[in-house]
Structure 1
Amino acid sequence: MTALVGTVLAVPNVLSLALALSAWISISYQIRMEEAHLSDAFGEAYLHYRRRVRRWL
């Protein structure tokens, strides 16, 4: 995400902004899917981990 934001700042046009936004949406969706899977797989241990660690380290 840092590289995409840097690209938007270096080349501020509609295409770079659209790519950064679509990547943000895709990555956020993927994270939520993985969190749901990890919660199912590891249960309470994963919930304790989530309380200690932020989503976007």
Structure 2
Amino acid sequence: MSYKRINRWHQLLINRYIPYLMLAQRIHLKLLHLLDLEKSDVTKNLGKSNVGDDPE
């Protein structure tokens, strides 16, 4: 394979997959954000429930 052919194939591949990569990145960031929110909620709830709900 010549260099030009490889380069063109690479370009096609990159152009085809960039939108998917962007989408995946966006989803990943949203998931991280949701996990962060969930984590902070969990720690808040743990702090509340451990104060007076001891069964012993």
Give 1:24 deviation, angstroms.
0.7
Moved over 4 A (4+): none
Q: Point out the structure with the larger helix share.
A: 2
Uncovered stretches (5+) of structure 1, i.e. residues with no partner: 1-11, 46-57
Q: Percent identity?
A: 15
Aligned length: 33
Aligned to 1:28: 32
Higher relative contact order (CA 8 A, sep 6+): 1
Aligned-pair CA distance for 1:18: 0.5
TM-score, normalised via structure 2 length:
0.53
For normalisation by structure 1, the TM-score amounts to: 0.52
